[in-house]
A and B are shown apart, each in its own frame.
Chain A
Amino acid sequence: MIGWATRHVQSALFAAGRLARTPLATAFTVLVIAIALTLPTALGLAIISVRQATGDFASAVDVSVYFKQDVSLDKARQLASSLRQRSGVASVKLVSADEALQAFRDRSGFGAALDELGENPLPHALDVRPAPDATDPDRMESLRRYIAAWPEVELVQLDNDWVRRLNAILDLLRGVVTGAAVLLGAGVLAIIGNTVRLEIFNRRAEIEVAKLVGGSNAFVRRPFLYTGLFYGLVGGVLATLLVLLGLALLNGPVTRLAGSYGSSFRLLTPGWREAAGLVAAGALLGLLGAGLAAARHLARIEPRT
Chain B
Amino acid sequence: MIRFDRASKRYPNGREALSAASFEIGAGEMVFLTGRSGAGKSTILKLISLLERPSRGLVMVNGHNTAALAARRIPAFRRELGVVFQDHRLLPDHSIFDNVALPLHAAETGLTLKEIDKRVRAALDQVGLLDRARSLPLELSVGEQQRVGIARAVVVKPKLIIADEPTGNLDPALSLEVMSVFRRFNEVGVTVVIATHDLDIVHTWKLREIQVTDGKVSESGAAALELPAIEAQR
Contact = CB atoms under 8 A, between A and B. Distances in A.
Given A205-B91, A216-B75, A305 B102 contact: no
Interface string B33-70: 00000000010011001010000000000000000000
A199 to B, nearest CB: 14
A210 interface: yes
A303 B51 contact: yes
Given A10-B105, A304-B51, A212 B89 contact: yes
A215 B78 CA distance: 9
Contacts of B105: 10, 215, 219
A118 interface: no
Given A214-B103, A217-B75, A219-B75, 7 more contacts: A7-B108, A205-B91, A206-B91, A212-B78, A212-B89, A214-B79, A219-B106
Contact of A210 (B42, B49, B106): B106
Contact of B78 (A3, A7, A213): A213
Contact of B106 (A2, A3, A215, A303): A215
Interface of B: 42, 45-46, 49, 51, 72, 75-79, 83, 85, 89, 91, 102-103, 105-110, 112, 152, 156, 164
B75 A211 contact: yes
22 contacts: A6-B110, A6-B112, A7-B108, A10-B105, A206-B91, A208-B89, A210-B106, A213-B78, A213-B103, A213-B152, A213-B156, A214-B76, A214-B77, A214-B79, A215-B102, A215-B105, A216-B76, A216-B106, A219-B75, A219-B108, A305-B46, A305-B85
B154 to A, nearest CB: 11
B109 A3 contact: yes
Contacts of B51: 303-305
A2 B91 contact: no
A3 B102 CA distance: 16
A39 to B, nearest CB: 37
A209 interface: yes
Contacts of B45: 305
A217 B107 CA distance: 11
**A interface secondary structure, majority:** helix
A214 B107 contact: yes
Contacts, number: 65
B48 to A, nearest CB: 12
Contact of A215 (B75, B77, B89, B112): B75
A265 B75 CA distance: 63
A60 B55 CA distance: 82
Given A3-B110, A205-B91, A214 B85 contact: no
Given A214-B103, A305-B164, A3 B108 contact: yes
A216 B79 CA distance: 10
Contacts of B85: 305
A267 B92 CA distance: 54
B102 A209 contact: yes
Contact of A213 (B79, B109, B112): B79
Interface string A255-293: 000000000000000000000000000000000000000
Contacts of A2: 110
B45 to A, nearest CB: 8
Contacts of B75: 211, 214-217, 219
B106 A213 contact: yes
Interface string A202-245: 00011011111111110100000000000000000000000000
A116 to B, nearest CB: 91
Contact of B102 (A4, A7, A213, A217): A213
Contacts of A304: 51
Contacts of A210: 102, 106
Contacts of A6: 110, 112
Contacts of B76: 214, 216
Contacts of A303: 51
Nearest to B87: A305
Nearest to A299: B71
Nearest to A7: B108
A232 B225 CA distance: 66
Nearest to A220: B106
Interface in A172-211: 205-206, 208-211
